[in-house]
């Protein structure tokens, strides 16, 4: 029983990190029809900038804020100079964003060196609680809390604000949104920036979780995030949360019980969903 609870918490924590990456990706995908393969690079930059700032100031909150600002700035620059010229052309999007992904990863080595950076858990989040043999690691619970907090915040904005309504409408029919007098390009930019900031937040949270960060981590997590977006349905935040939890839990349980299947399980999940529900579990209908 203890093992199951621990595996569940591990799975949920990993799922939430992937969710932070996938949430931005799914909105960018759904609203802007942009295949952003550089999204993992934003995750890695958030991790490096945040962990560096945390190391310099000794404040984890400062690290999180630095990561968020880094994400917002990189998101703005990427949308304006990289993505805007290739709107509507998937092949060009894949090529250029993959290129940017490589550049972003290599730039991390230029700025912070080729070695891994270590990140320790802040004191107030380190340690664990024990309940009847079950060990609850505080930092993992913190990640789960942040993941759900971000989800409910985005969900609230999408459901209850005008900007959220416009984003949801834009996912369904961009042309009509423009015909109603709304500057969709501005909305695109905003969504891209927020998506990038969420990825960066995921990155900095990963630091103390795994203890070390490295330049290639972006690509590794981006692949998981793409799987989550496909399973959850493009443009659906709820779908991303659900799929991220599914991917996190299945990875965690499989690694424990059937380790030889742990790498394949996510691909299998995606294949099954694509066969029976190609639009994803929560895919939006037009």
Partner 1 sequence: MTLHLKVEGIETYIDQFHILQGISFEAKKGEVTVLLGRNGAGKTTTLRSIMGLNPPAKGKIEFNGESISGLATYHIATKGIGYVPEDQGIFGELTVEENMKVAIKKENEETKERLDYILNLFPDLKKFWKRKGGNLSGGQKQMLSIARAYVNNNDLLLIDEPSKGLAPIVVEKVMESIQEMKSKTTIVLVEQNFIMASTIGDRFFIIDDGRTVHHGEMKELKENEHLRKQYLGIA
Nearer to partner 1, 184 or 200 (CB): 184
The interface mask with partner 1, positions 123-162, x = CB under 8 A, is ---------------------------------------x
R_g of the chain, CA atoms, integer Å: 18
Which positions from 185 through 214 interact with partner 1, judged by CB under 8 A? 185
Compute the least distance from the CB of residue 117 to partner 1, in Å. 42
d(CA 286, CA 280): 14
Nearer to partner 1, 123 or 175 (CB): 175
Compute the least distance from the CB of residue 73 to partner 1, in Å. 26
d(CA 212, CA 206): 8
Binding-site member from 125, 169, 190, 223 for partner 1 (CB under 8 A): 169
For 115: left if phi > 0, alpha if psi spans -120 to 50, otherwise beta; the answer is: beta
- Stretch in the footprint of partner 1 (CB under 8 A) among 81-89, 165-173, 191-199, 218-226: 165-173
Structure tokens at 74: 């990189």
Q: Is there a contact between 97 and 38 (Cβ–Cβ < 8 Å)?
A: yes
Q: Is there a contact between 245 and 18 (Cβ–Cβ < 8 Å)?
A: no
Binding-site member from 123, 130, 175, 260 for partner 1 (CB under 8 A): 175
Q: Where are the alpha helices (DSSP H) in 78-123?
A: 90-112
130: β partners: 135
Q: Does 79 bind partner 1 (CB under 8 A)?
A: no
Q: Does 178 bind partner 1 (CB under 8 A)?
A: yes
Q: Is there a contact between 30 and 234 (Cβ–Cβ < 8 Å)?
A: yes
Q: Residue 186's CB: how many other CB atoms inside 10 A?
A: 10
Binding-site member from 65, 117, 172, 249 for partner 1 (CB under 8 A): 172
Binding site for partner 1 (CB under 8 A): 162, 165-166, 168-169, 172-173, 175-185, 284-286
């Amino acid at each position: 029983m203890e093992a199951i609870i621990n595996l569940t918490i591990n799975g949920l924590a990993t799922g939430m990190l992937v969710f932070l990456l996938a949430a931005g990706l799914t909105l960018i995908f759904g609203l802007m029809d942009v295949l952003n393969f550089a999204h993992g690079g934003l995750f890695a930059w958030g991790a490096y900038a945040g962990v560096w700032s945390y190391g310099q100031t000794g404040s984890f909150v400062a690290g999180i804020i630095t990561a968020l600002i880094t994400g917002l700035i990189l998101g703005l620059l990427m949308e304006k100079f990289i993505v805007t010229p290739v709107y509507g052309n998937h092949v060009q999007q894949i090529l250029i964003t993959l290129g940017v992904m490589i550049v972003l990863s290599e730039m991390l080595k230029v700025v912070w060196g080729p070695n891994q950076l270590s990140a320790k858990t802040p004191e107030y989040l380190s340690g664990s609680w024990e309940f009847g043999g079950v060990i609850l690691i505080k930092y993992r619970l913190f990640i789960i809390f942040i993941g759900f907090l971000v989800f409910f915040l985005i969900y609230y904005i999408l459901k209850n604000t005008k900007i959220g309504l416009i984003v949801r409408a834009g996912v369904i029919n961009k042309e009509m949104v423009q015909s109603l007098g709304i500057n969709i390009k501005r909305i695109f930019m905003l969504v891209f920036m927020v998506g990038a900031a969420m990825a960066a937040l995921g990155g900095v949270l990963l630091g103390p979780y795994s203890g070390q960060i490295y330049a290639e981590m972006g690509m590794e997590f981006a692949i998981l995030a793409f799987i989550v977006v496909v399973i959850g349905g493009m443009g659906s935040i709820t779908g991303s949360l659900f799929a991220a939890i599914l991917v996190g839990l299945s990875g965690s349980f499989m690694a424990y019980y059937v380790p030889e299947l742990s790498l394949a399980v996510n691909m299998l999940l995606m294949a099954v969903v694509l066969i029976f529900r190609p639009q994803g579990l929560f895919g939006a209908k037009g």
